[in-house]
Chain A
C-alpha cells in the first residue's frame, strides 16, 4: 500500500512538472522560416509591384482590352456576355490591381515613415496610375477608404464617386512630383524607370495630363482643367515631361521563366484576329504599322505577298468562316505570339513591352489640348507629328529587339508620303484635325490596357467601333461590371455606388463620359 501511494504521488508530481513545461517554448516553433513578417527596406517591394501589375495589365491588354478597344476581334468575347459576366475572379478588368495596391500602400507607408521622399513619390505615382485604371473601367470605386484592412481594420470600404477619385488622384500626383523633386533617397530595384526620379516625375506629370484630358468635358469638379494643363505644359522645369520613347513608362520583360511577356507561355491563340475596324483605319492610311499590329494571313504567307485580313467583332461563330476562313485572317501581332505559335519563326519573349504611359500619348494629349485651346503653349502640329514619328520609332525599336525575319524595322517604316496624305497631314477643320489626333492616339494606345477603349469612349474615335449581330447588349460597352466578390462581400457599399452611379451594367456611362 505504501509503495502504491508513493507511485501515485510520484506520478502526480511528474505530471505537474511536465505540465509546467508543456506550454513553454512553443511560440519559438511557430516562427515562419519561409518568409519575413515585415519589410525593413521598402524598395524590396518595388519589383514585384511593377512586375505583377504589368504582367496582368499586359495580359489583359492583349486579350480582353484588345476586343474592347476594337483592335482585335474575338467571336467569344465580343458577344459581351460570358466574358463580361462578373466573375469570382477579378483579373479580367483589372480589379485585381488592388492586390498590387496593397504592396504600394505598404511601400508608401514604410517610405514615409523612413523619410524616403523619392520612394514615397514612386508609391504615389503607381497608386495614382492603378486607381486611374480602376476608376476608368468601373466608375465609382473604393478609394479613400480602400487598402485599410490592416491599418484601420476596414474590410468593407465605401465607394467614392469618380469625380472625387479624379480630384484625389491629381493631388496625389502633385505631391508625388514635389516629393520626387526634393527626395535624396536612391530608388533601387526600379525595374520601370531605372531609378531615375526625373523619369518618375515625367510619368507623374504625363499621367496628370491624361487625367485632365479625360476630365476635359466635365464640370463641377472644382478643378481648373485648362489652368492645370497649362501649368504642366508651360513649366518644364517644375513639371518635366517625357522627351521621347526612351524615357516613357514601359516595362521591359526578360528572357527568364515567368518574366517573359505574359502571354509567352500561352496556348496557341487562334481565337483572336485583327479587327476590321483596326484593319480599315490602317489600310485607309496605307499605314505600314499593320505589319506590326497583326500577322500576315496564312494564305499570303504561302503566296509570298504580305496581306492582312480583318474580321468584324460581334459576329459570333461566323467569324471562323468570314472572308473565306482563317486562311485569310490575320492573327495577333507577331510580338504578341506565344512560344507555341512559333512554327514560322521564334516568338520573342522580350519584344513586347508592358506599356503604361508613352511619350506619344502625352504628345497627342498636348496636341488636342492646344487644338482645343486648353493650353496656349506650343504648336498643335508639332505635338501631333512628334507623337506619330516617335510612335513609329518606338515600334521599330521593338522589332529590332524581336529580330524577326518579318516584319523587320524597315517593313514598318513610313514612306515620306505617309505624312502628306489626307487623313494624316495636319490640315482641315478643327474637327478633322481632332479626329486625326485621336485616331493616331488610338493607334498608339494599342496594347496599353483599356486606354484605347477609354479614348474611344471619350472621343468616339474610331467611328467604326459598333456592335454587331452577336452582341448581347444594344451598344458598345461603356464600362465593366464590378466583380462578384465585391458585390457579395462589400454589398452595402456596392449598392450605394450603384445608387449613385447608375446600374451596374455595361452601358452605364462613367462620370467623365456622360
Chain B
C-alpha cells in the first residue's frame, strides 16, 4: 500500500533519481525486498534490493514513463506505486509499507491478553480478518461482515437500523441459548455483545455495544476459535474470542491524514409474495350497509367490511365501498370518528400488489471518517472522528452516530511506555421499529393488510379535525393500527453515550523482564424514551415511558513478562492477574395514560406513575494466570497456560476454579528435510479447559416486588428455585490441526479437527408447576461439540503484468450433541419465541432440534395409505397434540468462497456464503396464509369461476378414518381444484387449518447461497493528481447481500427472531425483511 510517494518539487543537478524506504506494519525496516521498475508495457526497466535499513536507491532511470515501482518480499504482499513520470529534474523520495501476507510465514497475530505472537508458533486455530476488508464492504454492524469469512463462525443478524447480531463460533455448547456468544476484546478490554433490550412484548432491537464500533477504526479482528485459544481469557471465553485491534499511528512517519467516506443505499432483499386476485372479506362477502366502527361507535358496521383477511370477492374493478373511498361530505370512509363523515362513495375493487413494499423506504447510510496519524521514535498517535448517519428501510427509523477514537503511546523514558486507547460513541435515534408478533409491529400489520388496501391512502394518518387524537385506519378503527401512524407517532428513541478504552503502563525492568499494568473500562448510559400516541389500540389514552440503562465493566490487570534464552531454546514466561467488576442497572418510569395528547413528559400523566424494570446487578471476578512459551530453533513451539478464577456469583465454597491449557506447534518442514516447494508444513495439537460461573444472585431465591395495589406493597416468591450449591461449569477442548503452504504462498491449506465437551452446565431446569416452581437451577448436562474446519488459499493465476487471482475458501461443519442432561430428564425446552415450535435439547440429539406439532399420519400398511395425513370429519388435517421432531435449525455445513481479481490498481472481489441444511418455521407465512394474503392462497380459488370460489367445499388430499377402522382417500379427483372428496372445508379453513398451529406445515429449508459481497475498487494513478498534495486516492463500489438463492419465496432464511433477550435462529417471528445494499466508498490519504 502506498503511504508516501512525494515527488520532489525541486530539480537537482545530481544524485539518484529515486530513493525509498521500505517498512513493515510494525514500522520495522524490511531488508532484502526487491524493487522493480516497469513501464506501461510491463517491461522491466531496473531492479534493486533494499538494505538493512530498508533503503533502496535507483541511481538513474530512463526519462519518460509512467513507471511503476513494484516491491516484493517473501512473506509480504507485493506493493506497487504507480504512474511516476521521470524527467531530467526528477528526484523521487518513496515510502513503502509492506503488509504481512495472510497465511504466510512472518505473520504475527494478537492473541489472548493482547500478546503478539508469530502465527507459526500457535498450536490452535485462529483466523484473522483485516480491518480493510470490514471497512470496504461496510456493514454498519461490522460483526455481520465476518459472515462467510471465517470458518466456523455463524452470524444471525437482527433487522432494522442499529440492530444486533448474534455470533456463534463452532456451534452451541451451552444449553442456555443466549450464553453461546464469544467474548469480544478491543485492545485488551472486553466489550459487550449482549443485546440489552427493553423487556417484554414487541420491543425494538436496540443493538449491542460492539455493533456500534466503527469498522474504519479496526486494524484487524483475530478470531480465536476454541477454548485452547482463549483459555487465558477465562470463563467468559469458553465460546471463543474476537480479538479486535484498533488502528494506531505506528509506522506512519510524520503526520498522515486519511479520509474515508461512503454512501450506501439499502432496500429489502426479499419480500413475501402476495396474491392479487382476492380482497378483504369472508366467505366471498365484502359488503356493508353503513361502514364504520362496530364496537359501539358512530357508524355501526354491516357485514365484513372490517374483515382483516383477504377471503373476500375477486377483484374485478367494480365499485365497492372502501375505507379510503371519498364520502359525500368530502371525508374518507375510514374517518369514522367524524359525526358528519357522510356516505362513502364506491371506488373500484382492485388489488394493490405493492402495498407492503410501499411502506418501506430506501435506506441510506452516509459516513465520513477523518483520521490523523503519525509517529516518531518515541511516540505514535492516531485520532479519528466518524460521523455516521443512517436511515432505515422503515419510515422514521434513523440513527446518528458520532465516534471518536484515540490510540496513542509514548515512551516516557527508555524503560517506561505509556499507552492509551479510547473510543467514545454517541448514538441518537428517533425511533426503531417494534418487532415481533403483536399490535403495531410492521410485519404484524402486513399479515392483516388486505390486498385491496392502498398503503398510500394511509399516509395521512389522522382523522381530519382530530389530529393528535384519533388515527385513521384501514379497518374503520376496528383493531388495527395504521402502520404509518405507528411508525411516526409511537416511537422508541435512544440517546446513548458509550465509552470504552484503557490506559496501560509498561516498565522494562531489565532487557528481558518487563511488567505491565492496565486499567480499562466499558461504560454506557442508554436513555430510551418510548411514546404511544392517543388512539393507539393498546393505549387509547397514550402512554409514555422513560428507561435508562447503565452498564459498566472495569478491568484492572497486570502482567509480568520474562524472556530467556538457553542454547537453542527461547523461553517466554508471564504471570499476571485481573480483577473484573461489572455493574448493570435499569431504571424506568411509565405514565400509563396521558392527560394531554402529544405531550410526552412524565408530568403529563393521568394515572399514578409506575416504576418499571428496576434492577441493579453487580459481579466481580478475580483471576490469576500464568503462561509459559518455549521455542526450539523456531521449529517447535510449546505453550502452557493456567488460570484460576474466583467469581462472586458462585457460592463461597465453589467460587474458585482452575483451568489449564497446553498447545504445541511443530514446523515439520523445518524439523525434517523437505522439498523446497513446501513453504510450511505445520502440525498443531492443543488441549484446554475453561470454567464458567453463574449469573449474579442465582444462589438465592428472591421474593419479587409486585405492582402496588392501592398503595399496598406486596411480594411474590420467584417461580425459579435457585440453588445455593451451584458449581462452576467446565468445558474441555481437544484440537488438532495442520497447515500446509506450497509454491511460495500460492497454495495454502489449513485443517482443524476439534472436540469439546461442556459439563456441569448451570441451567434452569423446568419443573412441574404443581411443585410450586416452574424451574430450578441445577448443574447438569454434557454437550459435546465435534467439528472440522478447512481453509484453502489459492493463487490460481499470477501474471508478470500484475494480474492476480486470489481465491480463498473456508468450510466448517459442527455437530453439537447432548450427551446427558439430568437424571430422569430427557429434554429441556431452550427457546420458544414463536407460536408452537420450540428449540429443545434431547439426550442423544443434536443441539438446535426443532420441535412442534405436526400432522397425524396413517401408521398402518393396510389400504396402502401409510404416511398420508389424516383428515378429520371437519375436513381439516389432524394435528398431533404432542410436539414432534421436525429437524435441526443449524446448518449441516457452511462455506464461504472469496475470489479477488486484481490488476494495476483495479480489483474485483466477490464473496459467496453457502449454508447447507437446517430448517426453520415462519410465523409470518403461517399467519398470512391463514389470512388469505400470500400467493399460495389464490391457487385453488382461481380454479373456480368468479363468484363460485366460496360456494362449495375444498378437499385436502389425505386419509379419512372410516367407522370400521379402515382409511379412505379424502380427495377424489386430482385435477388441482380439490373439489370432490369426503370431508371438505371452505377455502379459509382449507389453508388456515393446514398451517395454523402445525409447525410441520410451516417448516422451511434454511439452505441458501448468498452473494454476500461484491466489490470493485480502483486506485487512481498518482500521475492524475500529481499536482495536489495527496498521496493516494481510491474508491470502490460495494454491494452486500445482492443475491439470494433459496427455496422459500417469501423471505431470507437468515432472519432470526428477536426475543428481548437476544436473537434466536430457526424462527421467523414477524421479523423485518433483511436488506441488500449498494454503496460507494472513497479513501484519500494526504
Residues of A within 8 A of B (CB): 3-4, 7-8, 11, 15, 18-19, 21-23, 26-27, 29-39, 44-49, 51-52, 79, 82, 85-86, 88, 90, 95-96, 98-99, 101-103, 105-106, 141-142, 146-150, 154-157, 189, 191, 254-259, 265, 267-268, 270, 295, 297-299, 301-302, 316-318, 320-321, 324-327, 331, 337, 339-345, 470, 472, 483-490
B817 contacts chain A at the CB level, 8 A cutoff: no
* New A-B pairs, 13, CB < 8 Å, besides A15-B577, A157-B768, A484-B882: A26-B622, A30-B696, A47-B709, A88-B829, A105-B772, A189-B714, A257-B607, A259-B710, A267-B538, A301-B300, A320-B282, A325-B303, A340-B540
B715 an interface residue at 8 Å Cβ cutoff? Answer: yes
Interface window among B167-175, B675-683, B716-724, B854-862? B716-724
* B768 and A320 contacting across the interface, CB-CB below 8 Å: no
Partner of B298, one of A105, A254, A259, A343: A343
**In the bound complex, do residue B881 and residue A155 qualify as a contact, i.e. CB atoms below 8 Å apart?**
no
Q: How far is the CA of A196 from the CA of B182 in the complex (A)?
A: 58
Chain B residue at minimum C-beta to C-beta distance from A10: B560
How far in angstroms is the closest Cβ of chain B from A402? 14
> How far is it, in angstroms, between the C-alpha of A470 and the C-alpha of B832 when the chains are bound?
30
Tell me whether A88 and B704 are in contact (CB under 8 A).
Answer: no
Residues of B within 8 A of A22 (CB): 622-624, 644, 646, 656
**Nearest chain A CB to B475's CB is how many angstroms away?**
10
B738-770 residues at the A interface, CB under 8 angstroms: 766-770
Question: Is residue B180 within 8 Å, beta carbon to beta carbon, of the partner chain?
Answer: no
B300 and A327 contact, CB distance less than 8 A: yes
Within 8 A of A (CB), among B548-582: 560, 562, 575, 577
Select from chain B the residue with minimum beta-carbon distance to A51.
B709
5 closest residue pairs by CB, A with B:
A298-B300, A257-B592, A344-B296, A325-B303, A35-B702
Cβ contact within 8 Å between B772 and A255:
no
Given A22-B624, A47-B709, does the pair A270, B295 have CB atoms closer than 8 Å? Answer: yes
Q: List 13 A-B contacts (CB under 8 A).
A: A3-B510, A23-B622, A51-B707, A79-B874, A85-B853, A149-B772, A258-B592, A258-B610, A337-B296, A340-B479, A345-B296, A485-B766, A488-B827
Nearest B residue to A191 via CB reads B709
Q: Are A470 and B715 in contact (CB under 8 A)?
A: no
Q: Which of B301, B646, B772 contacts A298 (CB 8 A)?
A: B301
Q: Which residues of A sit under 8 angstroms from B633, Cβ to Cβ? A: none
Asked, given contacts A88-B829, A191-B710, A321-B285, whether A98 binds B769 with beta carbons under 8 Å apart, the answer is yes
Contact call B768/A156, Cβ cutoff below 8 A: yes
Contact of A470 among B295, B575, B769, B874 (CB under 8 A): B874
Quick check: A30 and B699 within 8 Å, CB to CB? Answer: yes
Stretch at the interface among B239-247, B612-620, B890-898: B612-620
Of the residues A51, A316, A340, contact of B714 by C-beta under 8 Å: A51
Known: A157-B768, A472-B872. A35 touches B704 (CB 8 A): yes
Contacts of B616 in A (CB 8 A): 33-34
Chain B residues, Cβ within 8 Å of A82: 996-997
Stretch with Cβ within 8 A of A (4 or more), from B27-35, B158-166, B286-294, B1064-1072 = B286-294
C-alpha spacing A254/B610, complex, angstroms = 14
Q: State the CA gap A268–B296 with chains docked (Å).
A: 11
Q: Is B700 close to A, CB under 8 A?
A: yes
CA distance A316 to B985 in the complex (A): 11
Residue B631 is within 8 A (CB to CB) of chain A in the complex: no
State the Cβ distance, B985 to closest chain A Cβ, in Å: 9
Q: How far is the CB of A278 from chain B (nearest CB, A)?
A: 19
CB of A141, distance to nearest CB on chain B (Å): 7
A48 and B989: CB pair below 8 A? no
- Nearest residue, chain B, Cβ from A253: B709
Tally A-B pairs: CB < 8 A: 300
Partner among B301, B439, B478, B624 whose Cβ is within 8 Å of the Cβ of A15: B624
Known: A18-B577, A29-B648. A48 touches B700 (CB 8 A): no
Given contacts A51-B709, A257-B607, whether A483 and B769 have CB atoms under 8 Å apart is: yes
CB-nearest residue of chain A relative to B439? A267
The distance in angstroms between the C-alpha atoms of A21 and B624, with both chains bound, is: 11
CB distance from A221 to the nearest CB of B (A): 23
B1008 within 8 A of A: no
Q: Are A343 and B337 touching (Cβ within 8 A)?
A: yes
Contacting pair A259 B707 (CB below 8 A) = yes
A18 pairs with B772, CB closer than 8 A: no
Q: Which residue of B lies closest to A406 (CB)?
A: B296
- Does B282 contact A302, Cβ atoms closer than 8 Å? no
**B interface: dominant SS:** loop
Q: Compute how far the CA of A11 lies from the CA of B577 in the bound complex, rounded to whole angstroms.
A: 11
Kindly state the interface size class of chain B when it binds its partner: 35 or more
In the bound complex, residues from chain B placing their C-beta under 8 Å from that of A96 are 769
Complex contacts, A316 vs chain B, CB 8 Å:
989
Task: Say how far B437's CB is from chain A's closest CB, in angstroms.
Answer: 13
Determine if B537 and A267 form an interchain contact, defined as CB atoms under 8 angstroms apart: yes
B982 on the A face (CB < 8 A): no
Q: Which residue of A lies closest to B577 (CB)?
A: A18
Q: Judging by beta carbons under 8 Å apart, are A47 and B712 in contact?
A: yes
Q: Is the CB of B705 within 8 A of A29?
A: no
Chain B residues whose CB sits within 8 angstroms of the CB of A150 once the complex forms? 701, 721, 772-773
Q: Which residue of B lies closest to A505 (CB)?
A: B881
| Minimal beta-carbon separation of B496 from chain A (angstroms) | 23
List chain A residues, Cβ under 8 A from B618.
Answer: 29, 33
Cβ–Cβ < 8 Å partners of B302 in chain A: 325, 327
Whether A149 pairs with B776 at a CB distance below 8 angstroms is yes
- Chain B 972-991 residues near chain A, CB threshold 8 A: 986, 988-989
Q: A188: nearest residue on chain B (CB-CB)?
A: B712
CB distance B513 to A4 under 8 Å?
yes
Q: Could you mark each residue 618-639 of chain B with 1 if its beta carbon is under 8 Å from any beta carbon of chain A, else 0?
A: 1110111000000000000000
Nearest residue, chain A, Cβ from B539: A265
State which of B575, B619, B707 has its C-beta within 8 Å of the C-beta of A258: B707
Q: Which of B295, B300, B304, B540 has the most CB of A within 10 A?
A: B295
B477 within 8 A of A: yes
Q: Which residues of A contact B713 (CB under 8 A)?
A: 44, 47
- Report the Cα distance A146→B303, complex, angstroms: 51
- The smallest beta-carbon distance between A106 and chain B, in angstroms, is 6
* CB < 8 Å neighbour of A7 from B513, B646, B719: B513
Q: Does B907 contact A (CB under 8 A)?
A: no
Tell me if B590 counts as interface (CB < 8 A to partner A).
yes
Contacts of A85 in B (CB 8 A): 853, 879, 881, 997
In the complex, what residues of A have CB within 8 A of residue B604's CB? none
- Does any Cβ of A come within 8 Å of B697's Cβ? yes
- How distant is the Cα of A394 from the Cα of B768 in the complex, in angstroms? 39
CB pair B592 A489 closer than 8 Å: no
- Roughly how many angstroms separate A301 CA and B297 CA in the complex, as a whole number? 9
CB-CB under 8 A from A3, the residues of chain B are 510
B999 CB → nearest A CB, Å: 13
Given contacts A4-B510, A47-B712, contact A317 B300 (CB under 8 A): no
Question: Would you call B540 and A157 a contact (CB within 8 A)?
Answer: no
CB-based contact B705/A35 at 8 Å: yes
Q: Is the CB of A268 within 8 A of B295?
A: yes
Are A35 and B301 in contact, CB atoms less than 8 angstroms apart?
no
Check A102/B719 contact, CB under 8 A, given A90-B769, A268-B295, A327-B300: yes
Which residues of A lie under 8 Å from residue B784 when comparing CB positions? Answer: none
Given the known interface contacts A101-B772, A342-B540, the answer about A270 and B294 at a Cβ–Cβ threshold of 8 Å is yes
- Using Cβ atoms and an 8 Å threshold, which residues of chain B touch A88? 829, 832, 838
**Are A32 and B771 neighbours in the complex by a CB distance under 8 Å?**
no
| Contact pick for B540, options A49, A106, A339, A488, CB 8 Å | A339
CB within 8 A of B772: which of A26, A147, A324? A147
The answer to whether A255 touches B607, judged by C-beta atoms less than 8 angstroms apart, is yes
CB distance from B998 to the nearest CB of A (A): 10
- The CA of A342 and the CA of B593, in the complex, are separated in Å by 15
Contact A30/B538 with A96-B769, A327-B289 known, Cβ cut-off 8 Å: no
Alpha-carbon distance between A18 and B646 when the two chains are bound, in angstroms = 12
In this assembly, does B424 line the interface, its C-beta being within 8 Å of a C-beta of chain A?
Answer: no
Q: Does B283 contact A (CB under 8 A)?
A: yes
Q: How far is the CB of A179 from chain B (nearest CB, A)?
A: 22
Whether A47 pairs with B714 at a CB distance below 8 angstroms is: yes
